[in-house]
Amino acid sequence: MIPEYLLRALLASIMISVLLGMLSPLINIKGLAFLTHATFHSLLFGAVLGMILGLLAGNINIIIWVALVVTVIVVIIIAEIENRGFTSDTAIGIVSSFVAGATVLGFGILYKVMASRPYFALSENIVAYLTGEVFLITISDLEMLIFGGFLLFLMMLFLYRDFLYVSFDPEGVESYGGNVRAYLMVLYIIVGAIGALIVKTVGLITLQVVAVLPGAIAMMLSDDLRKIVGISLFLTLSIEILSIFLAYVTNIPPSGIATILLGIIYGTLVFKK
């Protein structure tokens, strides 16, 4: 009989695979790898801020919501700076510098707040956001992941073709009356929301790799967009499920195993060229 915690981990991994499997091709086609790096760093700042507010309010459950709000605000600011004529790298660099400084400052404040409330143990939460804790996911966490993931999946599914058009031919989209700025804003928000939703199960250290490599590998294997999305979905699901079972046997964090497996596949394809 499958242990309940393993079943929850498998269900969470399936949802994560669907979200990242669809998102990863968009990240690679639009060239958003640097954006994901900045976005996921803002998740750490949001988590730290959420821990501070959670300690002060006596409710640690608000961490994920604070991280979500902070991340969405960060990506909106990046998109707005980009829309004002700056390059994507410049916009991300400007915002990332403030996020990095705020994160360091936040850790200093967090340690002071933790010292005044010794009965709250947040060390595990900090480690969880860095390495992931899919085996410790609760029923409420799983419900939020499935519900929020389903909404984001529907949003991506509905706008996927538009996102592809914006990625390949933004001028053409504008010539037909499309609002490229709005599409980019929505895409950036989706990237941030998905990151905030799954960061506790995947981990910040490996999140960018798992978000970028499946799409990159799929684009090396095919030039057909439908096949690229299909390969990305299949690869992400296969790696996530395999890493869960390997982690169950070896007691190694599954996020680390998934990252190594993706790196091996990507490296093999690169050296075969």
Region 234-250 average pLDDT: 90
Total domain count, the chain: 1
Closest by CA position to 74, among listed 113, 28, 37, 33: 37
How large is the average pLDDT for residues 171-181?
A: 71
Q: Is residue 211 part of a domain?
A: no
| Candidate from 9-18, 37-46, 243-252 with smallest mean pLDDT | 37-46
The pLDDT of residue 203:
78
- Tell me, yes or no, whether 42 lies in a domain: yes
Categorize the per-residue pLDDT at 131 as very low, low, confident or very high, splitting at 50, 70 and 90.
confident
Chain position carrying tokens 């929020």: 148
Q: Is 46 among the domain residues?
A: yes
According to the model, what pLDDT value does residue 27 have?
85
Q: Which residue has the higher pLDDT, 237 or 255?
A: 237
Q: Which two tokens stand for residue 18?
A: 């669907």
Structural domain harbouring 145: 4-204
Query: Is residue 216 in some structural domain?
Result: no
Cα separation, 132 vs 128, whole angstroms:
5
State the CATH number of the domain containing residue 96.
Answer: 1.10.3470.10
Asked whether the beta carbons of 190 and 201 are under 8 A apart, the reply is no
Do residues 88 and 35 lie in contact, with contact meaning Cβ atoms separated by under 8 Å? yes
Is residue 67 in some structural domain? Answer: yes
pLDDT band at 126 (very low <50, low <70, confident <90, very high): low
Q: Which residue has the tokens 């390495």?
A: 131
Identity of residue 244: I
Top pLDDT among 125 and 3 is at: 3
Over 90: is that where the pLDDT of 50 sits?
no
pLDDT in tens, 84-100: 777 777 887 888 888 88
Determine, yes or no, domain membership for 215.
no
Tokens 């480690």 identify what position?
Answer: 127
How does residue 217 score in pLDDT terms, banded at 50, 70 and 90?
Answer: very high
Torsion of CA 24, 28, 32, 34, to 10 degrees: 100
User: What's the whole-number mean pLDDT along residues 60-68?
Assistant: 79
Compute the average pLDDT of residues 206-213: 84
Confidence tier at 127 by pLDDT (50, 70, 90): low
Q: Which residue has the tokens 């990151």?
A: 195
- CA angle in degrees (0–180, nearest 5) for 166-221-266: 100
* Residue 255 lies inside a defined structural domain of this protein: no
Per the domain annotation, does 177 fall within a domain? yes
Q: At what angle do helices 254-272 and 225-250 cross, to 10 degrees?
A: 130
Instruction: Tell whether the model's pLDDT for residue 121 goes beyond 60.
Output: no
Q: What is the pLDDT of residue 1?
A: 65
pLDDT at 153: 92
Token couple for 202: 């995947």
Task: Report the mean per-residue pLDDT for the chain.
Answer: 82
Q: Which of 91, 118, 132, 110 is nearest to 45 (CA)?
A: 110
Q: How far apart are CA 194 and CA 183, in angstroms?
A: 16
pLDDT above 70 (res 122) = no
In 3D, which of 81, 209, 197, 181 has the Cα closest to residue 142?
A: 197
Confidence of residue 32 (pLDDT cuts 50, 70, 90): confident
Which of 29-38, 230-239, 247-256 is most confident? 230-239
Mean pLDDT of 224-235: 90
Average pLDDT over residues 14-29: 89
Q: List the helix and strand counts (H, then E) for the chain.
A: 11, 0
